[in-house]
Amino acid sequence: MTRWLSYLHVFLVGWTLAAQACGGELAAASAGTPVHWNCFRGPLCGVSPWDNAPVAWDGPTGKGVRWKTPLKIPGVSSPVLWGDRLFITEADDRERAVLAFDARDGKLLWRRVVADGGEGAPLPAVSDYGLAMPTATCDANGVYTLFGTGDLGAFSLDGEPQWRMFLKRPILGYGFASSPCAVNHLLCVQYDHHASGRVFAVDTATGKIIWDRERSRGASWSSLMIVPDVDGKPLVVANANGSTTAYDLTGEMAWDVDGATGEVAPSPAWWDGRVYAVNVGSRLYCHRVHGTVEQLWDYVGRLSETASPVAVDGLLFMTNANGFFTCLDATTGERVWTERIAGGYASLLSSGGRIYALARNGTMQIVAAERTYRPIATCALGEDADATPAMTADGRMFIRGSKHLWCIDGKTPGEP
């Protein structure tokens, strides 16, 4: 993680404390204020800023579980946090809603229904994944949500409606899944579907469109990430069929490189000025994007189809729904090992030299982030789970299961 943080040191120079999401939150950390897991895959694109994620729990017995709260309506969006407030979204064919919980005890603080901007237009067909796949993002001023109906909106941290926008119904199979991200008072959105495509940014306070870039890449289920350019300024990176593209915060294209083709769902990984884009049935592409932009290598093998990979300490890890778990050398693309585990849709996370792989059956498989395959622990939730977990600085992990929202601390009862 040393090189990652060296780039983040540059990334933070000159960046305001208002910076949020997938990289921006580290600006706050540099000033000594708390870092928040406030976007899909957290502030470092799957690499936790903290090394203390739990390694032992058992949902059925309650071991290592601080609390769990029942969930009534489906959703596979991930939890996000701002301080002690935890947010998720949920949806069915009747209504869409955002929920706020107290992260300390799981108490529901508020629930707000999001109005349908389609005014009765038929809902998209979404198979079994639902209309609450995009993960919300939040900052000091509010929480921002996007649903598979095309409804984008903002609420204050106390649940007061701020603004809303209807983007038209997305046209794509499986349902819309791309998560927005907030950075420097901008809410950035990737809205690629079969009918049209665009990446745009709105003012988080007003919902006013600041910039809008049309695209012709077809449908994508990948989510935006924020990474530093060579001078440390934030870039918005969008992954889609055949390309991975970066925009600066004015909407100008910074670079565009060949990417994985097909129905692209995994979000890219990032390490040491390199971006890694992958999709099943295609290839994994590694490009250097700091300095001279160039492709360094590509890899064909057991590739991710849903779960986003994670890169840490010179190694790239990826898994797929069939349970093939692969480690590559992030510099050369050489395959280091491939093992078989329980398959999942959740994206991989890294903390403290460990990789966390959540299976669809709710089993968390914890493996050393090393060149030799070394399992550390297998922890059961006791229910299915598809959403990528969230983490906090004090060592808690939040997992959205099919029936409950879980807070895992890995501690025995009575342990502080």
Euclidean distance between CA atoms 4 and 312, whole angstroms: 8
- Map tokens 């899909």 to a residue: 40
- How many domains does one find in the chain? 1
CATH number at residue 56: 2.130.10.10
Q: Which domain holds residue 194?
A: 2-408
The DSSP secondary-structure symbol of 79 reads P
pLDDT of residue 216: 79
Euclidean distance between CA atoms 293 and 15, whole angstroms: 24
From 146, 72, 157, 70, select the one nearest 114 (Cα to Cα).
146
- Coil, helix or strand at residue 7: helix
**CB count, 10 Å around CB of 354?**
20
Residues in CB range of 94: below 8 A, 6 or more apart: none
Rounded to a whole number of angstroms, the CA Rg of the chain reads 19
> In sequence order, what E strands does 191-273 have?
197-203, 209-215, 225-228, 234-240, 243-247, 253-258, 269-271
Euclidean distance between CA atoms 253 and 172, whole angstroms: 25
pLDDT of residue 14: 30
Euclidean distance between CA atoms 77 and 129, whole angstroms: 10
pLDDT of residue 127: 63
Alpha-carbon torsion angle 368, 373, 377, 381, nearest 10:
100
Euclidean distance between CA atoms 39 and 189, whole angstroms: 12
Q: What is the pLDDT along the chain (416 residues), one digit of tens a residue?
A: 444 444 443 333 333 333 333 434 444 444 444 489 999 999 999 999 999 999 999 999 999 999 999 999 989 999 999 999 999 999 998 899 999 999 999 999 999 999 999 887 888 876 667 899 999 999 999 999 999 999 999 999 999 999 999 999 988 888 899 999 999 999 999 999 887 789 999 999 999 999 999 987 788 999 999 998 888 889 999 999 989 999 999 999 999 998 888 889 999 999 999 999 999 888 999 999 998 899 999 999 999 999 999 999 999 999 999 999 999 999 999 999 999 999 999 999 999 999 999 999 999 999 999 999 999 999 999 999 999 999 999 999 999 999 999 999 998 766 76
Structure tokens at 56: 């032992």
Euclidean distance between CA atoms 48 and 58, whole angstroms: 22
- Is 416 within a domain? no
- Is 161 within a domain? yes
pLDDT of residue 3: 45
> In sequence order, what E strands does 279-396 have?
284-288, 294-299, 310-312, 315-319, 324-329, 335-340, 349-351, 354-358, 364-368, 375-379, 390-391
Q: Are strands 310-312 and 294-299 parallel, antiparallel or unpaired?
A: unpaired
- Is 413 within a domain? no
pLDDT of residue 313: 96
pLDDT of residue 414: 64
pLDDT of residue 416: 64
- Is 276 within a domain? yes
User: Are 119 and 131 in contact, with CB atoms under 8 Å apart?
Assistant: no
The DSSP secondary-structure symbol of 361 reads T
Residues in CB range of 9: below 8 A, 6 or more apart: 30
In sequence order, the β-bridge partners of residue 110 are 100
- Is 415 within a domain? no
User: Are 98 and 145 in contact, with CB atoms under 8 Å apart?
Assistant: yes
- Is 99 within a domain? yes
